[in-house]
Structure 1
Amino acid sequence: MHFSTTSAALAAAALLSTVSATPTNVIRAATTTFPTAAGTSHLSAPKVISGTFDGKMVRFDRGSGACTGQTEGGDADAVFQVADGGHLKNVIIGADQAEGVHCMGSCTIENVWWENVCEDALTIKQKSGTSYVIGGGAKGADDKVIQHNGGGTVSIKNFYVSNFGKLYRSCGNCGTQYERHVIIDGVTADNGKLLVGINSNYGDTATITNSCLKSTVKEVCEEFKGNNNGDEPTKISTGISKSCIYTAKGVATC
């Protein structure tokens, strides 16, 4: 992992102060133990969530053969579509799915576990505002866990990720691009290529605190030059900067 010396702690505190507290009364401690499913529900179409849906730790999927690897899917391929302001909690997403959860606007994803990510675990489509990922975890993502296609901020707290390509990626080549921000706090990561990828040419920032990365995580934060024409984005730099805001103490090897 790459660390360098900077005054990032002050910048991180300033950015964190601009985001309201996570909308929950109980913040779970990060755990690396995946829960046992209370049952399994095979969905023939995405389950649309408005308001709050408590899955009571049932496993939801889209049936045998739903996963098509890294083939790009759409909203119709998701297990859950969460409407603007929706709150999905206490759910297990099974391996038989192409797209896990699509947030159509600002959403709260609480204690949701992806047993084996197919294309993406969570896709954020809000144009503005803040979406919250609180607790839960994901494993087995060949590429991205959280794909941020819309704008605004994503807050990820007390999340566990294992065997992954990227925990978070700001879309590098979407047709409509936004300034995006991600705040990561209390994450535990194991066996991954990259924790965070952002497009600094669009003003993206990543703030990472209180997180524990195993030595098998290769990089903490990378900056890219994104585009809106579908081309592969160009990597600019790796490590702490004015856009990748963290310290060696705040992102420790564990």
Structure 2
Amino acid sequence: MRTSMLKATKTITNSKVIEVKAGQTFDGAWARYDRGSGACNEQAEGGDADAVFLLRKGATLKNVIIGKNQAEGVHCDGACTLEFVWFEDVCEDAITVKNDAAGDHTWIIGGGAYHASDKVVQHNGCGTVNIINFYAEDYGKLYRSCGNCSKQCKRNVYVEGTTTKNGGELVGINSNYGDTATLKNVCTDAKTRCQMYTGCAGGCEPKKAGVCSG
């Protein structure tokens, strides 16, 4: 597992989001992609239009470096796959997964993220997010099940072979909605490996509810 990025072959700046259609694969050939200087609004919540890439259901993004000039990194509209995607300097969230249904699996394989003051992976859908052989350094949370989405549901996260440094919580899940978290062969100095929350639906603030057992 790599703990550092390859050097970008070139930088490609786009004025709008790159959409990868359902079932298709986008191979970035190790180029750096961003949205131009000043794109990061430091935790201003953005939408699909603010992302560097928007992956439709079943799409794959691979061999890409997401540069620091972006408000949102990768948005998945439905379950998706990321292979060896690196984030130089996360602005809001690196990866947002939404509109995935129960039984759907999103795969984040290899790659890594630096300087995510809040979350690396934000999960708003209802499926399972698998994080395999990933590296994160200087982050708030590696994974967070949405604490106050207007539509709430059970979510699952599986983390294996992953290394994290200088972070807060590894994963945060909503115990009251039946979320599950499985951690296997994880190397981390996080003070909290799995934090439970009492989630709520829309316009509210979730509260911590102890650490996970097992």
Same fold (TM over 0.5): yes
Counterpart of 1:42 in structure 2 is 13
Secondary structure at the counterpart of residue 176 of structure 2: helix
2: CA distance, partners of 1:193 / 1:71: 20
Matches within 5 A, 1:76-95: 76-95=49-68
Matches within 5 A, 1:1-254: 30-50=1-21, 51-128=24-101, 129-214=104-189, 217-241=190-214
Distance apart, 1:92 and its partner CA: 0.2
Summarize deviations over 1:179-204 as a string: whole Å, max 9, x none.
10000000000000110000010010
Q: Detail structure 1 runs of 4+ shifted over 6 Å in the superposition.
A: none
AA aligned opposite 2:137: S
Secondary structure at the counterpart of residue 123 of structure 1: strand
Secondary structure at the counterpart of residue 76 of structure 1: helix
Structure 2: runs of 5+ lacking an equivalent? none
| Root-mean-square deviation (Å) | 0.8
AA aligned opposite 1:49: V
| More contact order relative to length (CA 8 Å, sep ≥ 6) | 1
Summarize deviations over 1:58-117 as a string: whole Å, max 9, x none.
000000000000111111100000010100000000000000000001100000000000
2: CA distance, partners of 1:127 / 1:101: 15
Give the length in aligned residue pairs. Answer: 210
1: CA distance, partners of 2:130 / 2:203: 26
Identity %: 54
Structure 1: runs of 5+ lacking an equivalent? 1-29, 242-254
Counterpart of 1:20 in structure 2 is none
| TM-score computed with the length of structure 2 as normaliser | 0.96
